[in-house]
Each structure stands twice: as C-alpha cells, then as structure tokens.
Amino acid sequence: MKLSCCLMALLLFLLQAVPGLGLPKDTLRCVGYHGFCYRSKSCPEPFAAFGTCSWRQKTCCVDTTSDFHTCQDEGGHCVPPEINCLQEQEGLCPHREWKCCTEV
C-alpha cells in the first residue's frame, strides 16, 4: 500500500514538474492565453469562448476584463507570421504564432 502511494506521488510530481506532459495541445494553448477549460459550451460572464480544451470536449474561456482580448474584439484580424502588417495591435489569435493586424 505504501509503495503504491509513493509511486502515485512520484507520478503526480513528474506531471507537475514537466510542463505540458500529458496535456492535450488545445488545453496547452488555452492555458497559454491565461484561459481555463469549462465543461459547458458557453462561458460564464465576464469570460468569452476562445477555442476548445481536452481534445475538443470542453470550451476554453478567457477573461474579457483583462488585457487578453481577442483580435476580432479589438477590430483586427489574425494573419500568419509570413504576412507583414502595416499596423499591428494587441489581441489574441487562435494560432499562437499568428499576429493581430488592423491593416495588412
């Protein structure tokens, strides 16, 4: 019994010590944007839906009262990194490496 408890504690420690170990990609992206995974399809106020979590089984919710607003909420549009923006702005894009532009 003690051995199984020690092994479980070691496993939990390793999962916490190694960032991203065992977490789905969409969950990592959500957490990277300071979001949280919510079971319902709609997020509670003041949060807004921003993709999925847990292999598309949950909704990623981001705080709309913080500095982490989506690009579209700020009046921009998301573009891949190879496109040059005439004017960049703050805002979250669904793909982390993409940029938020007001003008391309």
Strand 99-103 relative to strand 87-88, pairing = antiparallel
Structure tokens at 42: 């709609």
Domain map (residue ranges) of the chain: 23-103
For residue 12, pLDDT beyond 80? no
Residues 27-46 have a mean pLDDT of 84
Instruction: State the number of CA atoms in the 13 A half-sphere of 54 facing the CB.
Output: 11
**Taking 50 as the threshold, does the pLDDT of residue 52 lie above it?**
yes
CB within 8 Å of 4: residues ≥ 6 apart? none
Under 8 Å between Cβ of 78 and 64? no
The continuous run of DSSP H or E covering 60 comes out as strand 58-63
Neighbours of 7 (CB within 10 A): 10
DSSP state of 92: B
Average confidence (pLDDT) over 5-28: 61
Instruction: Please check the confidence at residue 24 and state whether its pLDDT lies above 70.
Output: yes
- pLDDT of 89: 81
Give the closest residue to 60 by CA, choosing from 90, 101, 88, 92.
92
Whole-structure pTM value: 0.48
- What local confidence, expressed as pLDDT, does residue 3 receive? 56
- The residue that leads in pLDDT, 91 or 26, is 26
Name the percent of the chain lying above pLDDT 70.
73
